[in-house]
Structure 1
Amino acid sequence: MNEVTLQVVEAPLDETVVRIALAGALGLFLGLEREWSKRSAGIRTFSLISLLAAVFTILVLETDIGEGILVLGGLLVIVQGVLLAVKGLMDDDDDDARLSLTTSVSMLVAYGVGSLVAAGFAIEGVTVAVLSTLLLVLKRELHEFAWGLSREEMRSTTEFAILAFVIYPLLPAEETLTIGSIDIPIEPQVIWLMVVAVAGIGIANYAIVSTYGGRGIAVTGFFGGLAASTAVVGTMLDHVNQRPEAASYAVAAIILADAAMAVRNLAIALAFTMGGGVDILVEALVPLGAVIVIAFIVAAISADWRESVEIDLVSPFSMKNALAFGVVFFAVLVFGSLAEVWFGTFGFYVTAVASGLVSSAGATTSAVVLYRGGQLGPTEASIAILLATVSSIVVKALLARTSSSQQFKNRVATYSGVLLVGGALASVVLVI
């Protein structure tokens, strides 16, 4: 009795009856939103379409029936969808016309989902069904997002898509750069993926800052720091010059921007060492974690939280900036590798400090790539990342020195010094 029960419970997905049932369930799931929207095709129609696709696919795979029957089923769905679309286009209501077109395409998606599941691609079928339903449910939000994009934002998004989905797949996975007698292993895809990741963070947080930037210093400083630390410093400088009494929360914004930069660098260090054939760079948690925690404590006790400020980011993404970051990153990687060969680990530390003046993310990604390639150990890579982060904190403090408010300058210098001391102590613990 126990054996029979166990076999029923562990029935695999490759059983024909299970695949048919799953196909019908996913079709029902897809049709649920159409039924709720009171479309002409709803739960029953979508379920039957997915079941039809599953049956035809199983017949093709497990019998001598040719693939023509599967194609015929797809054509029937297309014809039915075309009829619905034509009916919608003939109506006077533009919204009904668009919804009819969406329903027609959704029916074809349901047919594809049923075929995927029946062919054994259960995870893929579920993924398509969930994503498709999500697109249908978020109709209003997606339309509002698209209609609210400016020309510059649309252009930036398109450029980012080219970098992420066109250039990245064309790059080789591994290459070797030879300089004299020194061979430097390069991973072009990983390098470009890091460029895309940093740019993607900027785009995501541009949207957050644009939406919530005026609702609190935490959002303005932290998310603005993820998108563009210099923009935070520049905005606070202007604001303090106009309103010297706002120095307390302006200082907190810059400190939170430092925390955001440390979070970004830590995310790069952890994410790009996962699944790379090396241990995850958990050593970076100690020094960067100290900087992050101290920054949040300083911001919590020093800011006037009743204030808020708008931050104006010009563009979510710039092709020029992305390519410049890639050039800086590649140069840091090459010179860091050469310095490590010629002068040992100390040579790369100097390179990390210098590059952090321009881009701490570039130095961080360089350290991660060298760690993945075996040129740096986990402790050395973590110290290099910390040095780049510290260098960027110093740059922000120096920029703040241009303010006309002595109080603002002194506070930024003092609290930046606290971050530097905390990071230094953490790095000493790491070395010991």
Structure 2
Amino acid sequence: MVDPVTDPFVEVLFHLFVGVGLGALIGLEREQSESGGTFAGSRTFPLFALYGALVAAFFPTSISLAIGVLVVPLTVAYAGKIWYEQDIGLTTLIAALLTALLGATAMHSDTGAVVAIIVGGVITVLLSVKDPIHEFADQIEETERRASVKFIVVVLVVLPALPNHSLDVLYGLNPRFIWLMVAFVTGLGFVAYVLAQFLSPERSIAVTGIIGGFVSSTATTVSMAEKTVQNERLYHVCAFAVVTASIVMFPRALIEVAVINPDLFLSAAVPLGAMTLVGVVAAGTLYWRTTTDETIEPNELNNPFRLRPALLFGTIFAVVLLISEYAHEWLGTSGVYATAFLSGLADVDAMTITLSKLAAEGTISTEVATTGIVIAAIANTIVKAALAWLLGTDRLGRRVTIVLGLVVVSGLLLLAI
């Protein structure tokens, strides 16, 4: 007797349901947004998905021909849409073709069904956030746009061209790995930068600190310190933003560890998680004493997609990687810790990625890598407190130092255990 769960017919029906369901989801979005017009809507898009699914199920070798055939009526309908509605937008047409491909992908395999669900969700989100995306694009200045384009082009062109092996002329460094890490770290900052435009951080000091921490906790500290000089009454809200941005540095480091060396994650999560928890509790106390809505504006955060800072980070990362390797070889564990502290004064990301990589290669132990990352985080936290004192008011300096001091002490206690 055939198990109903594994019955091939039931499996085909399930994949068919996924494909048609995704088509219905996209169709509803097109009809509700009135973007499809007379071109296509809640009934037509499921049919597109069903068309692709049936072809993939019973005529898999003809899928390319089937999509080509579908292009013909879509082209005619698109031409009519332009003629009658004076609308030359291609979004709905492309969505229709993608919907047919989603139906085919859902029928391909279990993995295909998962991919179709993910891609279908992304398509629906992109279609539904038309206005916010256009508003975001309009907010970007021409200089910012050019900087982003140049950076993306350089990443896409340079990355594949770089050798993916150690070079003696670079003292054993792997150029592609270094540039990949530049793109990764900068990408983290850019995601936060984009979120800042959508989430309107001017309405929430908590979001200000979080976004600022992912884009640049140092820049956020400097900005908040300058605000207190301009208006001393803002020291509470500015202190909270500085503290939050500094605390975000710890989970950001954990994300980098998880990507570079997943085996190191649990070891690093204990001290960094504890420091985050202590910081959150202390920052929460500070938050309840904050009575103003004044905060940093989104345009005060610079777009991380800039070539010069990216190249600077790449240089710092390469130098830190070399120094860490040689310091461990010549001075042992103490050399790694000294390098971690000095590097952490300027940048935590470079040291976090370096130690994660060295631990993955077996050059240093998990314990040494974890301790080094914590030391770098502590050093950078000390710098934030120093900046608050040097560039801000005494009140800002005291509050930031008290809160971040608790974080540093908790980290030192964990290292001593």
> Which residues of 2 match residues 157-196 of structure 1 at below 5 A?
157-162=148-153, 165-173=156-164, 175-178=165-168, 188-196=175-183
For residue 395 of structure 2, the aligned residue among 401, 407, 413 is: 407
- How far residue 145 of structure 1 moved from its aligned partner, in angstroms, is 2.7
Give the Cα–Cα distance (whole angstroms) in 1 for the partners of residues 130 and 196 of structure 2.
23
Show the counterpart of 1:291.
Answer: 275
Change over 3 Å in CA distance of 1:132–1:257 after alignment to 2:
closer
- How far residue 106 of structure 1 moved from its aligned partner, in angstroms, is 2.4
Q: Which of the pair has more CA radius of gyration?
A: 1
Show the counterpart of 1:314.
Answer: 302
For residue 301 of structure 1, the aligned residue among 285, 289, 292 is: 285
Change over 3 Å in CA distance of 1:295–1:122 after alignment to 2:
closer
Aligned-partner residue type, residue 308 of structure 2: K
> Which residues of 2 match residues 232-381 of structure 1 at below 5 A?
232-274=220-262, 279-303=263-287, 304-307=289-292, 308-311=294-297, 312-381=300-369
Change over 3 Å in CA distance of 1:233–1:56 after alignment to 2:
closer
Change over 3 Å in CA distance of 1:413–1:178 after alignment to 2:
same
Give the Cα–Cα distance (whole angstroms) in 2 for the partners of residues 112 and 408 of structure 1.
57
Give the Cα–Cα distance (whole angstroms) in 1 for the partners of residues 20 and 237 of structure 2.
56
Change over 3 Å in CA distance of 1:18–1:171 after alignment to 2:
farther
CA contact (8 A) 1:171 1:189 kept: yes
Structure 2 length-normalised TM: 0.85
> Which residues of 2 match residues 128-143 of structure 1 at below 5 A?
128-143=119-134
CA contact (8 A) 1:117 1:125 kept: yes
Change over 3 Å in CA distance of 1:191–1:88 after alignment to 2:
same
Query: Alignment partner of 1:91: what SS?
Result: helix
CA contact (8 A) 1:217 1:305 kept: no
Structure 1 length-normalised TM: 0.83
Change over 3 Å in CA distance of 1:293–1:24 after alignment to 2:
closer
Aligned-partner residue type, residue 150 of structure 1: E
Aligned-partner residue type, residue 131 of structure 1: V
> Which residues of 2 match residues 7-156 of structure 1 at below 5 A?
7-12=3-8, 22-36=18-32, 37=34, 39-61=38-60, 70-91=63-84, 93-94=86-87, 97-98=88-89, 101-120=90-109, 121-156=112-147
RMSD value, Cα: 3.0
Give the Cα–Cα distance (whole angstroms) in 2 for the partners of residues 118 and 300 of structure 1.
50
Change over 3 Å in CA distance of 1:421–1:127 after alignment to 2:
closer
CA contact (8 A) 1:371 1:381 kept: yes
Change over 3 Å in CA distance of 1:358–1:85 after alignment to 2:
same
Give the Cα–Cα distance (whole angstroms) in 2 for the partners of residues 285 and 213 of structure 1.
28
String of CA shifts for 1:80-133, please: whole Å, max 9, x gaps: 111122122223544xx42xx333222222332333344444333344333333
Identity among equivalent positions (%) equals: 29
For residue 214 of structure 2, the aligned residue among 197, 222, 226 is: 226
Larger CA deviation: 15-24 vs 335-344: 15-24
CA contact (8 A) 2:39 2:81 kept: no
- How far residue 156 of structure 1 moved from its aligned partner, in angstroms, is 3.8
Change over 3 Å in CA distance of 1:241–1:27 after alignment to 2:
closer
| Unpaired stretches in structure 2, ≥5 consecutive residues | none
String of CA shifts for 1:251-308, please: whole Å, max 9, x gaps: 332222220112211221233223xxxx243121232223222222222223532122
Give the Cα–Cα distance (whole angstroms) in 1 for the partners of residues 17 and 193 of structure 2.
44
Give the Cα–Cα distance (whole angstroms) in 1 for the partners of residues 201 and 57 of structure 2.
54
Change over 3 Å in CA distance of 1:128–1:12 after alignment to 2:
farther
- Total equivalences in the alignment: 407
CA contact (8 A) 1:225 1:256 kept: yes
CA contact (8 A) 2:23 2:49 kept: yes
Change over 3 Å in CA distance of 1:140–1:239 after alignment to 2:
closer
Query: Alignment partner of 1:357: what SS?
Result: helix
CA contact (8 A) 1:81 1:105 kept: no
Query: Alignment partner of 2:166: what SS?
Result: strand
Query: Alignment partner of 1:363: what SS?
Result: helix
- How far residue 197 of structure 1 moved from its aligned partner, in angstroms, is 2.6
Change over 3 Å in CA distance of 1:126–1:229 after alignment to 2:
closer
Bigger helix share: 2
Query: Alignment partner of 1:116: what SS?
Result: helix
String of CA shifts for 1:184-232, please: whole Å, max 9, x gaps: 5x55555434322321222222234455332233222232122112222
Query: Alignment partner of 1:73: what SS?
Result: helix
String of CA shifts for 1:337-365, please: whole Å, max 9, x gaps: 01111111111111111111221111111
Aligned-partner residue type, residue 283 of structure 2: A
Give the Cα–Cα distance (whole angstroms) in 2 for the partners of residues 235 and 281 of structure 1.
32
Give the Cα–Cα distance (whole angstroms) in 2 for the partners of residues 406 and 51 of structure 1.
67
- How far residue 53 of structure 1 moved from its aligned partner, in angstroms, is 3.4
Aligned-partner residue type, residue 206 of structure 1: Y
